[in-house]
Amino acid sequence: MKMALRGVWQLKKLIVSYCDWGENKNERVVSLKNMTPEDILLYATRLRNALGRNVVKLKTMHVTKHLSVQGTWTTDVKF
């Protein structure tokens, strides 16, 4: 995993607490039950390295606002 958006870590603060109910959309709730300290550190590192925005699955391989005037490129070009 890499550094997040433009080299700025997205995780500013990590609060570990017990909560009986409720959650916020801006929060990530992780169960630490029966985890070793090494596993907890690994999970915290993953949260730190995660990108701040949601992952969006692209429908096509290439996204552009302006289509090519030359047409679609293929590997079967004959000269």
Q: What pLDDT, on the 0 to 100 scale, is given for residue 2?
A: 46
pTM above 0.95, yes or no: no
Q: What pLDDT, on the 0 to 100 scale, is given for residue 58?
A: 72
Query: Is the pLDDT reported for residue 20 higher than 70?
Result: no
Q: What pLDDT, on the 0 to 100 scale, is given for residue 10?
A: 63
CB 16 within 8 A of CB 47: no
Task: Name the band, by pLDDT with cuts 50, 70 and 90, for residue 1.
Answer: very low
Cα 45 to Cα 39: distance, rounded to the nearest angstrom? 10
Query: What are 31-73's pLDDT values in tens digits?
Result: 888 989 899 888 888 877 776 667 777 777 776 777 767 777 7
Domain coordinates in residue numbering, the chain: 1-74
